[in-house]
Amino acid sequence: MAALGGARRRPLLLLLLGLVHGTAALFVVKDANGTACIMANFSAAFTASYDTRSGPKNVTFDLPSDAAVLNSSSCGKENASDPSLMIAFGRGHGLILNFTRNATRYSVQLMSFIYNLSDTQIFPNASSKAIKTVESATDIRADINKKYRCVSNNQIHMHNVTVTLHDATIQAYLANNSFSKEETHCEQDGPFPTTAPPPPPHPSPSPAPENPPVYKYNVSGSNGTCLLANMGLQLNVTYEKKDNTTMTRVFSINPNKTTAGGSCGPQLVTLELRSESVSLLAFHFGMNASTNRYFLQGIQLNMTLPDARDPTFKAANSSLKALQATIGNSYKCNAEERVQVTEAFSINIFKVWVQAFQVQGDKFGSVEECQLDENGMLIPIAVGGALAGLVLIVLIAYLVGRKRSHAGYQTI
């Protein structure tokens, strides 16, 4: 951490494009010959949850204009190490982007954030004075010799910290000592095709997979349980194989081969699942204090696909509004629900019963049924009502006909 403190005295290269708090800054890493290998231009905001003597507290702060690139940043060495951008700011805080590549693409494989709880300006009344490190995989990736471009906010969730990049331009493995004119857009900005892409080949039909087993997950913190979730999970992943054909596969989460964890925050609850092939499947539940409701806000998936052209599959979306219910109540749905996370990834949720935040006594609160279940109940009610009406019409017709037949006879 001494290197972080000395960042202002020994920056490798830092060009600032704004002099006000929260504006974008340009960070450049050069090799020993003075050739740029990494360039990054973005603004960043950090939201962190930390403990105080009076309970957990949330704080939000920006990457300041005097942030600096550390000398320990690196262009990497072939077959030895990968490039990394290390940015230091404030009293011992740091943001690290570690890059990797294959034959066609590069990515920020891992983002790390180092923060110093003894910095009272950012973390007042923190109960700990320790230096903490959190990290997460990211969905920042681009084609080789193209810059990564993302105007929209891109949130990277790291346990109790969320890093939000805005108006980001990032490129590693530079070819011409500057940003490329060509760019790869992030999923958050949406597609920008120049021509209509050819339709993907239709995969051969396969038998429908069995429903996954339903399992009970829970997440607890210092104040008790913050999440209860009963559900079965199934992943739908579309990717390109090594032979350039498109494949869609379905993966069921086996609870017996999955480890569960997570974190509790005042406004963010996270459930994290990991298995042999799924390095991370995270569910982020947020809340809206003004409407007194919680909802599934984000899903992140990092997994390995051995037969894919890029074996590391990553997908994330932090703008969801699924599984909504009033705080203090539980959300329940017996019908299968599909949540579309990205164009290439969706998740099927079976027999879900979930409650985030105010969980009392480790038990589900009052149930709010999903719309699918309510619609399912309306169908038999409507059919039953129609049949009852039909029987009534037949009965009335029979009685009227019988009365008329009796009126045709006369008494002698």
Which of the pair, 138 or 81, is modelled with greater confidence?
A: 138
pLDDT category at 372 given cuts 50, 70, 90 is low
CA atoms of 397 and 170, how far apart (whole Å): 78
- Span 223-231, mean pLDDT? 94
Torsion of CA 283, 166, 27, 175, to 10 degrees: 80
Q: Do 25-188 and 215-370 show the same overall fold?
A: yes
* Mean pLDDT, rounded, for 305-324: 92
Span 46-63, average pLDDT: 88
Beta partners for residue 220, in sequence order? 225
Provide, rounded to the nearest whole percent, the portion of the chain with pLDDT above 90.
50
Report the C-alpha gap between 267 and 218 in whole angstroms.
17
Burial class (CB in 10 A: 0-12, 13-18, 19+), 50: buried
What's the CA gap between 29 and 70, in Å, rounded? 9
Q: Which comes out higher in pLDDT, residue 263 or 157?
A: 263
At the second CATH level, the architecture of 25-188 is Beta Barrel (2.40)
Q: Average pLDDT of the chain?
A: 83
Q: What is the pLDDT of residue 5?
A: 44
The residue extents of the domains of the chain are 25-188, 215-370
In terms of pLDDT, which residue wins out, 38 or 394? 38
Summarize pLDDT for 128-144 with one digit per residue, the tens. Answer: 898 988 888 888 999 99
CATH number of 215-370: 2.40.160.110
Cβ atoms of 29 and 13 within 8 Å: the answer is yes
Query: What pLDDT, on a 0 to 100 scale, did the predictor assign at position 407?
Result: 52
- Compute CA distances 212 → 108, 233, 280, 354, whole Å: 32, 6, 18, 17
pLDDT on residue 237: 92
pLDDT, position 17: 33
